[in-house]
Amino acid sequence: MDFELSDDEVALADGIRALCAGRFPLDRLRAAEDGDGRIDTEGWGELAEAGVFSLQVPEAAGGVGLGMAAGAVVFEELGRALIPGPVLASHLAAGTVDGAAEGKVVVGAVRRPAVAGPGALVPPLVGHLPSLDVLLAVGPDTITAVDPAEIDAVPIGRSLDPLTPLFRVDRLPEGRPIGGAEEARAWRRAQWVLGGAFLVGLAAANLDMAVAYAQQRQQFGKPIGSFQAVKHICADMLVAAETARAAVHAAAVTIDQPGVGDPDRAAAGAGLLAAEAAMKNGRSSIQVHGGMGFTWEVPAHLYLMRARVLSEAIGPVGDLAELVAELY
Amino acid sequence: MDLRYSEAEEKFRIDLRRWLAEVLPTLPPKPSAFDWPARRVYDTTWQRMLFDAGYAGIDWPVEGGGRAASPVEQLIYLEELEHAHAPYVGVNFVGLLHAGPTIVVEGTSEQRARFLPPILRGDEVWCQGFSEPGAGSDLASLRTKAVRDGDEYVVTGQKIWTSHAEVADYCELLVRTGDEGSRHRGITWLAMPMDSPGIDFRPLKTIAGSTEFGELFLDGVRVPVANRMGEENDGWRVTMVTLSFERGTAFVSEVLESMELLRDLRRLARRTGAFAEGDVRRRVGRLGAELDALWALARRNVSQAARTGVPGVGGSVYKLGLSEIRQRIGELGMDLIGAAGLSWDELDGLDGAGPLGNAELVNLWVHGFSRTIAAGTSQIQRNIIAERILGLPKG
């Protein structure tokens, strides 16, 4: 038993972090805030080349052949860098949807409710629609692939996360079935872990930002980070991020190594704690930044709004908590 | 990242599990929590059984008489003891987890030979004399004075929060040997025999109505210089060695115990019908997810210790999280039993009571308040995290 990151896992994280810092610096991402909302296809290709989508596709099928633990390491870095676009759905679709692993086909996903009428989406929102080549609808017992060209959609004037443009879709075509109950279950479980990893990255980014500001911002003749009222907010942010990170890693390893635990309970709990950590750290970072935290300029809010997007994608968090309670 | 145990680790687990199954049924019944002499007998009997089976001082190095188990084996040890409902370390806590490890690192060969074997065998019990009425979180401001007189120190002052002093043989005592303002540069660590003249112990009553600790009044107590650990005025460094052990694997058992408590509470909630409420289910689920995460964090801390040899500051993250979760578990228990929680007496036949009765749940809740205070308050833990991990400036 050695629950520390292996040298290979550390190298993988460093590689993705370097790629993100070089290719997707925050200034560059923010320049797209007022753009057309299309994802940067060249950048998407570079993520693919780095193995972000093919990471868990077996080597025999042309992938990298790694497991969920490696996925968690990579997705934390993507979250830390606020990478926009349906990276999670494209990663999960790789190996099933042709071209996804190579980044040639961009795949999005929505949750198809069990009870609503045929074709209805609740709420009727799809992200990044014009950039998608395939939209997967994941229901309780099915996964279907929908051709985005067949979808009637109206852009939402203003999306909560400026880097996740939303579209109103009132009726979703049935699509072509590509998976049954087992695949849908595996999808949800992987989504909790990798979405959780992305959320941990968002939580960590806001922690780093808040700590840096608390060290540099002076009031009453000293850095505000020397006051316990501020210091303790930062300590609680670290506790939230590190606890969620341990949970996400444990869930990933529980999926990779059968027999070490209950993967559904571990994954749902990890998703829950990661979502709460990312949102808590978003709120706290805005608070530590004071008035500046409420300005558009300081990016704390971008990580918070993305945390909401991700929490909705993997949640709702209340359902995750209830699932853990059932499985405990 | 690997959560699988090696063959050797699994063998260690199986052997231990087999031994526990054999010996636990031979233990006498557990004494009342208020009867310290009986508790001493019970806890030291258990310690002697561990010693005879080669499990005493599992984390101590071989030269100290311990087993020098790897951090992973220590984790397995705690896990198996918890699952088997084996007795806790009890009155041996200070000897095994504080004073002993300190003497192993800081003691001379004579001191090790004198003090370590009786701790491991359960022959001698230690208590702690660190905190004072005026020195709590700010331990370095302690004022109990020791004046050198030949080959003895003459100690006068007052200590507080000392547990099981009335049944202890030795006290790990911090005294001021430097001048008044010397703070951490003028502290010395002494092993004080508890049968020395001049020691008076007065129990304090807790909010649970019990006497778990008390005040120690020291009036001209003579302690041999030979009982000093480390150099004179170097006791602060010696103490930091001790405290790092306390924040290592010391709380692992509690996470596992809390998981079981939570399952018991869920059983209770199912029986009373409260589990039908979404709010109750979500509270159980959140606590469950947080306990699973702490267990993951424990394994991470242990893995770190296995690589670096010392428990990391991650212990503070763990301690802070666990203390607050314990309180929330206590609150959930009280909410589930409602008005039955107004009685410390067991209400037999209470609808929904058991496996946890109302008295146990009241006790759990009330004791929760000590969690965020003892062994470093949550506020001190947050300072440690902010200053030592995040690098924020001292206030």
Q: What is the 3-state secondary structure (H, E, C) of chain B?
A: CECCCCHHHHHHHHHHHHHHHHHHHHCCCCCCCCCHHHHHHHHHHHHHHHHHCCCCCCCCCHHHCCCCCCHHHHHHHHHHHHHCCCCCCHHHHHHHHHHHHHHHHHCCHHHHHHHHHHHHHCCCCEEEECCECCECCCHHHCCCEEEEECCEEEEEEEEEEEECHHHCCEEEEEEECCCCCCHHHHEEEEEEECCCCCEEEEEECCCCCCCCEEEEEEEEEEEEHHHEECCCCEHHHHHHHHHHHHCCCCCHHHHHHHHHHHHHHHHHHHHHCHHHCHHHHHHHHHHHHHHHHHHHHHHHHHHHHHHHCCCCCHHHHHHHHHHHHHHHHHHHHHHHHHHHHHCCCCCCCCCCCCCCCHHHHHHHHHHHHHHCCCCCCHHHHHHHHHHHHCCCCCC
Q: What percent of chain B has pLDDT over 70?
A: 95
Are B256 and B345 found together in one domain? yes
* Mean pLDDT taken over chain B: 92
Q: Is B308 on the interface with A (CB under 8 A)?
A: no
Predicted confidence (pLDDT) per residue in B216-258, tens digit: 999 999 999 999 999 999 999 998 876 666 555 667 889 999 9
- Write down the pLDDT at residue B94: 93
Q: Is A67 on the interface with B (CB under 8 A)?
A: no
Q: Is A96 on the interface with B (CB under 8 A)?
A: no
Closest CA to B68 of B79, B58, B83: B58
How far apart CA B206 and CA B373 sit, in angstroms, is 13
Report whether pLDDT(A287) > 90: yes
Phi first, then psi: give them for residue B86, nearest 5 degrees.
Answer: -70, 160
Which residues 243-302 in chain A show a CB within 8 A of chain B?
A: 243-244, 246-247, 249-250, 252-254, 257, 259-261, 265-266, 268-270, 272-273
Question: What is the CATH classification number for the domain harbouring B20?
Answer: 1.10.540.10
Are B261 and B222 found together in one domain? no
Of the partner residues B9, B292, B392, the one whose CB lies closest to the CB of residue A234? B392
Contact A232 B294 (CB under 8 A): no
Q: What percent of chain B has pLDDT over 90?
A: 78
Are B345 and B266 found together in one domain? yes
Per-residue confidence at A117, pLDDT binned at 50, 70, 90?
Answer: low
Question: What is the CATH classification number for the domain harbouring B277?
Answer: 1.20.140.10
Predicted confidence (pLDDT) per residue in A216-260, tens digit: 999 999 999 999 999 999 999 999 999 999 999 999 999 999 999
Are B346 and B384 found together in one domain? yes
Q: Is A7 on the interface with B (CB under 8 A)?
A: no
Contacts of A4 in chain B (CB under 8 A): 1, 300, 303-304, 307
Which residues 106-125 in chain A show a CB within 8 A of chain B?
A: none
Q: Which whole-number Å values give the CA distances from B132 to A14, A136, A287, B144, B217, in the listed order?
A: 48, 65, 37, 8, 10
**In-domain check, residue B239:** no
Number of domains in chain B: 3
**In-domain check, residue B38:** yes
Contacts of A270 in chain B (CB under 8 A): 289, 293
Are B205 and B262 found together in one domain? no
- Angle between the N-to-C axes of helices A68-80 and A7-23, in degrees from 0 to 180, rounded to the nearest 10: 30
Domain that holds residue B150: 126-232
Contact B262 A328 (CB under 8 A): yes
How far apart CA A229 and CA A234 sit, in angstroms, is 9
Strands A107-111 vs A134-138: parallel, antiparallel or unpaired: parallel
Domain segments of chain A: what residues?
183-327
Contact B1 A9 (CB under 8 A): yes
Contact B303 A328 (CB under 8 A): no
Of A139-143, A273-277, B214-218, B238-242, the range with the lowest mean pLDDT is B238-242
End position of a domain, from candidates B87, B121, B155: B121
- Write down the pLDDT at residue A83: 97
> Measured between CA atoms, how close is A128 to chain B, in angstroms?
32
Which residues 214-273 in chain B show a CB within 8 A of chain A?
A: 259, 262-263, 266
Predicted confidence (pLDDT) per residue in B338-394, tens digit: 999 999 998 875 555 456 789 899 999 999 999 999 988 999 999 999 999 999 999
Predicted confidence (pLDDT) per residue in B101-152, tens digit: 899 989 999 999 999 999 999 999 999 999 999 999 899 999 999 999 999 9
Q: Is B320 on the interface with A (CB under 8 A)?
A: yes
- Write down the pLDDT at residue B304: 86
Contact B386 A4 (CB under 8 A): no
Are B223 and B320 found together in one domain? no
Q: Which whole-number Å values give the CA distances from B201 to B56, B91, B164, B227, in the listed order?
A: 30, 17, 10, 21
| A&B contacts, CB < 8 Å | 178
Contacts of A247 in chain B (CB under 8 A): 289, 292-293, 296
**In-domain check, residue B79:** yes
CATH topology of domain A183-327: Butyryl-CoA Dehydrogenase, subunit A; domain 3 (1.20.140)
Predicted confidence (pLDDT) per residue in B80-111, tens digit: 999 999 999 999 999 998 899 899 989 999 99
Residue B263, judged by CB atoms within 10 A of its CB (0-12, 13-18, 19+), counts as middle
Are B382 and B252 found together in one domain? yes
Contact A321 B286 (CB under 8 A): yes
Are B144 and B109 found together in one domain? no
Contacts of A322 in chain B (CB under 8 A): 278, 281-282, 285
B246 in active site: yes
- Is the Cβ–Cβ distance between B59 and B42 less than 8 Å? no
**In-domain check, residue B304:** yes
- Write down the pLDDT at residue A48: 98
**In-domain check, residue B1:** no
Closest chain B residue to A323 measured between Cα atoms? B285
Q: Say how many residues make up chain A.
A: 328
Residue in the block written with tokens 């709380």: B251
Report whether pLDDT(A89) > 60: yes
Among B80, B106, B246, B290, the one annotated catalytic = B246
Are B216 and B254 found together in one domain? no
Contacts of B292 in chain A (CB under 8 A): 247, 250, 265-266, 269, 324
Strands A166-168 vs A222-223: parallel, antiparallel or unpaired: unpaired
B97 token code pair: 């987890």
Are B198 and B177 found together in one domain? yes
Specify the DSSP element, H or E, that contains A167. Answer: strand A166-168
End position of a domain, from candidates B202, B232, B262: B232
Are B257 and B181 found together in one domain? no
**In-domain check, residue B170:** yes
Contact A253 B383 (CB under 8 A): no
Phi first, then psi: give them for residue B87, nearest 5 degrees.
Answer: -60, 150
Are B217 and B344 found together in one domain? no
Question: What is the CATH classification number for the domain harbouring B150?
Answer: 2.40.110.10
Of the partner residues A1, A211, A235, the one whose CB lies closest to the CB of residue B9? A1
